[in-house]
Amino acid sequence: MKLSKLLNSVKVLSVSGNREADILSVCFDSRDVKEGSLFVAVKGGTSDGHDFIGKAIEAGATAVICEVAPSVSLSATIVCVEDSHKALGFVASSFYDNPSDKLKLVGITGTNGKTTTVTLLYQLFTSLGYKCGLLSTIANYVFDKRIEATHTTPDPIETNALLAQMADSGCEYCFMEVSSHSLDQSRVCGLNFAGAIFSNITHDHLDYHKTFQEYIRVKKSFFDNLPPAAFALTNMDDKNGLVMLQNTLAHKYTYSCTSLADFNCRIIEKGLDGMLVRIDSREVWTRFIGEHNAYNLLAIYSSAILLGADKEEVLVQLSSLTSVSGRLEYLKGLNKLTAVVDYAHTPDALENVLKTLKDCAGESEIVAVFGCGGNRDKSKRPEMAQIAAKYSDKIIVTSDNPRFEEPESIIEDIKAGFTPKERAGVLFITDRREAIKTALLMSKEGSIILVAGKGHENYQDIKGVKHHFDDKEVISDVFNQNCV
């Protein structure tokens, strides 16, 4: 593809060299550069692509997009732009022939519920007979082909490459998680969204965004940039839900479980095996539990209707949808023990899960096993402790993904959230395997043991190395070996 064509949607400040150069690939990592590549120099959290422009040209880059031109004369065409991150998105879309124009792309953003909502939308529309794609934290799918995910929202090149595969495979829809990091880094620039969903927003990622207002602003930018033909669907029960719609040009819709909205839901009956909900005056039994899942199901239903699906067919299929890996996933042991694995790693998510289990548990004892990730927002650590103390009968604090922090230091931060009396009854076990094993072995008959924080993840991130670790495997091993 000609460089000039790739630059059509990019705000170019200057070009030095051949605008008609042939481009064979696009990359932003100098290690991926080949003969004929277009190298886009972007500034990252730990490195700056501008420092590798010379290396990229030596490796064969035909052209370079950058914000600051090199001070020395180079053989490649140099394109200066205002924002390399945005340019990368538009260039990647153009290079793959704008694949998001060839299907209906729906994105969801919010603190919690993203993975469940997009995965169940993928399940729903597949069951309705459509070919679909999925871009999620757990995995990416091109129709029925699974591709491992490395980020909640991939980089623009990977996203457009996957969307192109979906379009070539005949996919009509793609459901995509849109993280706040990806919005801030312009990873979805150049994509044409048919719809956007807002689930909720609570304190998270403040290690990155610094303030809650900035976190809200970044989320809102997703809706601000929607095209007029798209739909913007928001949870009006979240206090910032309507904020998301303030400046959007898209068609505005709301959903609610507490007040009048365009789409409504109420929980009629609930138990550990599922709940009966009333969605837009129709009752349907689902295999999900908890108020947070009522919101997820309502968002799924609302989006499906806005995409033109038949109301009756959608309600029928809602009753057959199954839980997402690592989201309120149950494992049964002897002595009527139930272990629940969930990805809850924010105060709001942990509260949702524990409240749900407590509501459904009756007289059963609730045991919570949780930790907090390293090198992430430290303010939520004592909050998690307070929530666990409020809703649990027994608590074990352990390690999550410590990353480059010492696990013991993270646990000390969590410990600060307990009162002295609460702290006396809490076990602090750094080794996650031992913590889970202890929780299962010390629980009395009929107990519910929540293992929170990692969900679908099959590793622990320690000092930059991912060691194999799967909560579900550990639980199964204990159940099988100790017959509990």
pLDDT one-digit tens code per residue, 111-164: 899 999 999 999 999 999 999 999 999 999 999 999 988 887 899 999 999 999
pLDDT of residue 212: 84
Q: For residue 285, what are the β-bridge partners?
A: 276
CA distance 395 to 354: 12
pLDDT of residue 139: 92
pLDDT at 369 over 90: yes
- Summary count for the chain: helices (H), strands (E): 16, 24
CA distance 3 to 36: 11
For residue 383, what pLDDT band results from cuts at 50, 70 and 90? very high
pLDDT at 206 over 80: no
Give me the helices (H) in 225-365, please.
Answer: 291-306, 311-318, 347-361
pLDDT at 91 over 70: yes
- Residue 129: CB partners within 8 Å, gap ≥ 6? none
Percent of the chain having pLDDT more than 90? 89
CA distance 375 to 307: 39
pLDDT at 73 over 80: no
pLDDT at 204 over 60: no
Task: Assess contact for 284 and 297: CB atoms under 8 A.
Answer: no
Look over the chain and give the mean of its residue pLDDT values, rounded to a whole number: 95
pLDDT at 47 over 70: yes
Least confident of 36-40, 151-155, 216-220, 352-356: 151-155
Q: pLDDT tens digits, residue range 334-352?
A: 889 999 999 999 999 999 9
Amino acid identity of residue 445, one-letter, is E
pLDDT at 84 over 70: yes
CA distance 293 to 452: 17
Q: pLDDT tens digits, residue range 398-434?
A: 999 999 999 999 999 999 999 999 999 999 999 999 9
**pTM (two decimals):** 0.89
Q: Which domains does the chain have, with CATH numbers?
A: 3-95 (3.40.1390.10), 99-318 (3.40.1190.10), 329-482 (3.90.190.20)
Q: Which long-range contacts (CB under 8 A, 24 or more apart) does 307-311 make?
A: 307/104, 307/106, 307/125, 307/173, 307/194, 307/195, 309/125, 309/128, 311/280, 311/282
pLDDT of residue 272: 86
Helix H or strand E encompassing 194: strand 193-198
Mean pLDDT of the 274-302 span = 96
